[in-house]
Structure formats: structure tokens, C-alpha cells
Amino acid sequence: MKARRLAVRGAIEFTPRVHPDERGRFLSPFQEKAFTEAHGAPLFAVAQTNHSVSRRGVVRGIHYTATPPGTAKYVYCARGAAVDFVVDIRVGSPTFGRWDSVVMDQRDHRATYVPVGVGHAFVALQDDTVMSYMLSGSYVPEHELALSFLDPALALPLPSDMEPILSERDRAAVTLAVARDKGLLPEYDHCVRVEGGRRPPNAQAGADA
């Protein structure tokens, strides 16, 4: 499995080796050894898994969890294709305001690690696109927040031939600047402490954790 650090501090893209044969293909979208080598610590204890099915053009996000409690994610595309986005919304982060993207499809089977406090979104490129998540925390509605995917200051790209389909919640979401002014964004130092507290006692922090 190959690992690549993204432009957002602590976010990592993983690309597994695919084994095709006459029956189809086999791969492992998560591998603890590769994850630990790239991140500097094992994956969090999984508290919940999520599974979404989206038609082409659906935009989900930008979503994040208030920190504390904070939630980290490990995301991959189980079917279809999507562009997955990580957005650094952690006030005080060296990469605050930056974003990066990963193309997830059935050819390369990439996955993304989303650190605590980092915003996450994706755009489905095909009908019946299935996104699967492992989460470090359970879903609590009052902790879940959203920012506008269409924030012109972020300028997240959409395919030119696609009309975005957003939920009412996501259409009403505020921009990054408004959220910062209202004190709705997580603090980078809080996020690092929360993420570090979920590591086993003997785990060492990664170079950009």
C-alpha cells in the first residue's frame, strides 16, 4: 500500500495494491501496518461505520465534528467514483484554509484519512456511488456542523458538466469566514490533543500529526 501526505496537515491518501485475476479483483482498502508507518500511530478505535449511496452530482459536505469531542475518519469508495475533499478548518493550523482532493474509483481504490477537526466532503461522479467510513466517534447530532461547499473563498472544484445536488442543510451552511467569526471552528491545538489522546500509550506521533 502506498501512502501520500496531502496538503492538509495530518491528512493522508492511501492506495492499495490491486490483485486482478479471471474471477475479478482483490484488494485491502485499509492496512494497519501501512497506516501506522504513514501516520505514526495505529488507527483509532472504531466507534462507528457509515455507508452512503449517492447519485451522480450529489455533494455531501463540508462536514465536521465540534472538537471536543472531535471525530477522525478513514474513508474509501466501495462502488462508483467520487472526488473526496479534505479542508483544513482548524484555527491555528499551519495549513488553515487549504484543501486537497483524492479521486476515488474502482480502478485505484484509494482511501483518505481525515484527522480530527478537518472538514470532509465529496462529490459523486457516478450514480450509485457508495462511500464507506470508519469513525473514531459515534454520531451525535448536536456535535455535527457544516460549511458551504460552494464557498467562493475555498473555490472547491466541480465538474463543469455537473449541477450539484445538495441537502437543505448543506445549502444553508455558512462560509469558512462566517464560521470563524462566529467561533464555530475547532482549534488546532485542541484537535491535536484529542487525536493524540486516542493513540495507544506507546504510540509515537507522526511527523505532521
What's the CA gap between 84 and 121, in Å, rounded?
Answer: 6
Residue with cell 437543505: 168
Nearest in space to 10 (alpha carbons), one of 134, 138, 112, 148: 112
CA distances from 203 to 14, 77, 118, 166, 199 (A): 20, 28, 22, 40, 6
Active site residues: 63, 133
What's the CA gap between 29 and 17, in Å, rounded?
Answer: 9
Residue 20 contacts by C-beta under 8 Å, 6 or more apart in sequence? none
